[in-house]
Amino acid sequence: MSDHRHLTRRDFVRAATAIGSAAAFGELHAGSNRAQSTRSRSNKGRIYKADKGGGIGADQAAMVAKLDHYKSLGFDGLEGGSPDIKDIAALQAAIRETGVPVHGVVHGTHWNQRLSSPDPAVRMLGRAVLEQAVKDAHAIGASSVLLVVGKVTGPDENHDHVWNRSIVEIRQVLPTASRLGIHILIENVWNGFCENPDEFRDYIDEIDSPWVGAYFDIGNVRKFGLPEEWIRTLGRRIVKLDVKDWGQANGFCRLGEGDVNWPAVRQALAEIQFTGWATREGPDNSLEDTSQLMDELLDL
């Protein structure tokens, strides 16, 4: 990776550091089979805890209530969706009132309006939503847009198609992303595309932009690989984390109850000196449970 990418990431981290640190670690939820940890909270102030928030709320009052609720549980912020956020001005006001950031948005139609679609009109729609998501992210003070680049569906949308078509579309949005300072972060998902870390690394490198990186989903890769190996291969390309667990016996599950080796994940994150946002995708026993589990498993 170029030095320019490293400096851009460092600038992002410097901005994130202004956010208040995560809530102090408490007792784990009753019924957990893990004992209370005595480890030092080495990632507190380095990794910031968030949850998926979708549209955040229907109006400013609802948005304030939601952001304040997450703040009371020790979350540092939320991640929203575009076009799920219906009132950008109301969300801007709610963020100012609560001091709780919405650190990023998710491209809300990327599965249907795929950048890899064989239909150029569909690709154009997906690109338009991506460009609007970049603008929405900038408007609310976020730093990224999460993107699924496409899906392998058959001979008209194979692996090469997803690779080449999506890169063409992403590059058309990069001038807006760079002008507004918004990262486009590619999530690894079950879409038949780049299902090993070397391919995923090479895909990001081919785009060759400091504004494109990885939104690494810890649980998604466990079905066909080890998250810690992906983390080491992707290295500084990882800008943000999706936090999930997955087990051969129970699929996506409560954090800590799947097959993810969390000590190995922590070690790999330490090796690449990761710092940034980690966002829970999926439910645990409660939001309180999620907050406590993230503290425990990520040393927050």
Q: What is the pLDDT of residue 39?
A: 79
Is there a contact between 213 and 186 (Cβ–Cβ < 8 Å)? yes
Assess if residue 88 is contained within a domain. Answer: yes
Is there a contact between 69 and 42 (Cβ–Cβ < 8 Å)? no
Question: Would you list the DSSP string of 64-131?
Answer: HHHHHHHHHTT--EEEEEETT---HHHHHHHHHHH---EEEEEETTTTTS-TT-SSHHHHHHHHHHHH
Written as one letter, the residue type at 230 is: W
Is there a contact between 274 and 230 (Cβ–Cβ < 8 Å)? no
Assess if residue 26 is contained within a domain. Answer: no
CA distances 16 to 45, 135, 146, 240, Å, are 9, 19, 17, 12
Assess if residue 40 is contained within a domain. Answer: no
Owning domain of residue 140: 3-15+49-298
Q: Which residues contact 9 (CB under 8 A, 6 or more apart)?
A: 213, 236, 239
Assess if residue 154 is contained within a domain. Answer: yes
Is there a contact between 279 and 266 (Cβ–Cβ < 8 Å)? no
Angstrom distance (rounded) from CA 29 to CA 286: 9
Assess if residue 147 is contained within a domain. Answer: yes
- Residue 252 three-state SS: strand
Q: Is the pTM of this model over 0.75?
A: yes
Residues of the chain with pLDDT under 70: 1-38
**What residues does 80 pair with on adjacent strands?**
54, 105
Is there a contact between 253 and 247 (Cβ–Cβ < 8 Å)? yes
Assess if residue 34 is contained within a domain. Answer: no
Q: Which residues contact 202 (CB under 8 A, 6 or more apart)?
A: none
Structure tokens at 156: 């008209």
Q: What is the pLDDT of residue 37?
A: 52
Is there a contact between 88 and 136 (Cβ–Cβ < 8 Å)? yes
Q: What is the pLDDT of residue 238?
A: 98
Q: Compute φ and ψ for 46, nearest 5 degrees.
A: -115, -35
Angstrom distance (rounded) from CA 300 to CA 292: 9
Assess if residue 38 is contained within a domain. Answer: no
CATH number, domain containing residue 247: 3.20.20.150
Element (H, E) at 48: strand 47-54
Which is it for strands 102-107 and 276-280: parallel, antiparallel or unpaired? unpaired
Angstrom distance (rounded) from CA 172 to CA 127: 8
Is there a contact between 100 and 70 (Cβ–Cβ < 8 Å)? yes
Assess if residue 39 is contained within a domain. Answer: no
Q: Compute φ and ψ for 162, nearest 5 degrees.
A: -60, -45
Q: Give the pLDDT confidence of 216-242 residue by residue, as tens digits.
A: 999 999 999 999 999 999 999 999 999
Q: What is the pLDDT of residue 29?
A: 37
- Residue 253 three-state SS: strand
- Number of domains forming the structure of the chain: 1
Residue 201's nearest CA partner among 210, 189, 211, 213 is 213
Residue 141's nearest CA partner among 83, 219, 89 is 89
